[in-house]
A and B are shown apart, each in its own frame.
Chain A
Amino acid sequence: MTTKTPDGKIINQQEKIYMPIPQQFGRGDKMGRGPYEKSGLLKDTSLPPLRTVKETFSIPLYKESKKDGKLARTIISNDITVEVELWYLPYGKKDDEGNSQMWQKVTKKLSIAKGGK
């Protein structure tokens, strides 16, 4: 998920990985990568069938500074674009033509009201 200002500057980037994490030779705390060394699972963050997984991302839109000893938060941009992309990465990287696939992309424009108290 990438948040940009109207001129394209990236102000926030977050990602969440969904995958079964196999154990190396069924022992210890290390992940096994090649099929020849995988046995068992250490953890599983893959998307389970027919369940809805809900992810909440918080994006701060301010810079922090101290003014006269007081905390101030100044807005970075009143208008932002949030791009949510869902990728399938069979070998773990995006830059992998013919293998990595972008399945979905949703773009949302958001704005923070100007003025007021």
Chain B
Amino acid sequence: MKFVKVLVILILVGFALTAFAAAPAGKKAKTIDELVKMYDSSSCKDCHAEIYAEWEKSLHARSIFGPAEVGRTAATLKTTVENGHKDWPYSGVKKPEDMKVEHLMVCASCHLPQLAEAEDSVAQEIMKNVYAFKETDDAAAMKLQSLNINCLVCHQRNAIVHKWVDGYPEKNVVYGFKNGEHPSPDFPKMKQSKIMGESILCGQCHGQGPNFAQDNPTQCATLYGSYNFAYIPEGERETCQECHIKKSKLGHNMQSYRSPEMAKMALDMHVYAEAFQWRDVATTTPAATVIVELKNKAGHAIPDG
């Protein structure tokens, strides 16, 4: 009997510990700063300096602010509230302060997926900064840029798509190609993500069409749809990573039309032109014909997103 009792106590202790360990993961961020801290990637810089510097130049590093200085993405968030939510009778949003995580998720599911782990106060703080941001208001601009698709979004949170098959991502692990020790105190383990080199990693954000998982679907990008249904049928199978990270030689500075490297890779243009005189009995008609041939060499339609 004593033996059994001891076992019971041990099991109980075990339970208590598990519950305690699981709690912080389930705790939601109350402020932008708390959310930034939950996905703090600044330590990666110490050892992966080159990758970090590349990433900083990419739009992923400003995923709710948008291209440097212009702040186009932040401006679009504002339009979404002004021309969208406020206008829709059943959205529950009458003024920007009514924006909850659920409302912002129409954009954030791809622009800031970790917002799912934040309370509505964070959605409100984001909106406050979106409205405050003007070209001159550096504080609001910096605040918005502190939220982004960083190392831990791709190498942890979103590194596993099929969670019932591969398991749920763990907080002290960085996911890449290998299993083993990782010499970082906060992330002592390295595990293999089965999709790190696969297009679906990027496809989870780069769009197939309306996002039907939401009460009011949005459609920002359709690029992954185009990749699957227009590029793959051509018999090609290069991945997003092969073109955007390797062939472009841009590494983690994933780019598109703004970069000369990508523009060169994008299409071939040939122009054939001739001038001639056509004749209908006595009337001569001087004219020219210009033929332009465009071949899209990307892995998806141009333009898309």
Contacts and interface: CB of A to CB of B under 8 A. Distances in A.
B284 A80 contact: no
A51 B296 contact: yes
B275 to A, nearest CB: 4
Given A90-B257, A99-B258, A110-B274, 16 more contacts: A36-B79, A47-B296, A48-B226, A49-B227, A50-B236, A50-B297, A53-B294, A57-B289, A58-B288, A59-B288, A59-B290, A60-B286, A61-B275, A88-B263, A101-B257, A112-B277
B241 interface: no
Interface string A21-36: 0100010000000111
Interface in B176-232: 209-210, 217-220, 222, 226-227, 230-231
Interface stretch (B114-122, B136-144, B264-272): B264-272
Interface in A35-88: 35-41, 44, 46-62, 70-73, 75-76, 80, 82, 84, 86, 88
A56 B290 contact: yes
A19 B67 CA distance: 21
A20 interface: yes
Contacts, number: 180
Interface-centre pick from A3, A36, A104 (highest chain B CB count, 10 A): A36
B284 to A, nearest CB: 6
B70 A98 contact: yes
Contacts of B284: 73
Contacts of A19: 303
Interface of B is mostly: mixed
Contacts of A71: 283
Interface of B: 67, 69-70, 72, 76, 79-80, 83-85, 106-107, 209-210, 217-220, 222, 226-227, 230-231, 234, 236, 257-258, 263, 266-267, 269, 271, 273-277, 282-304
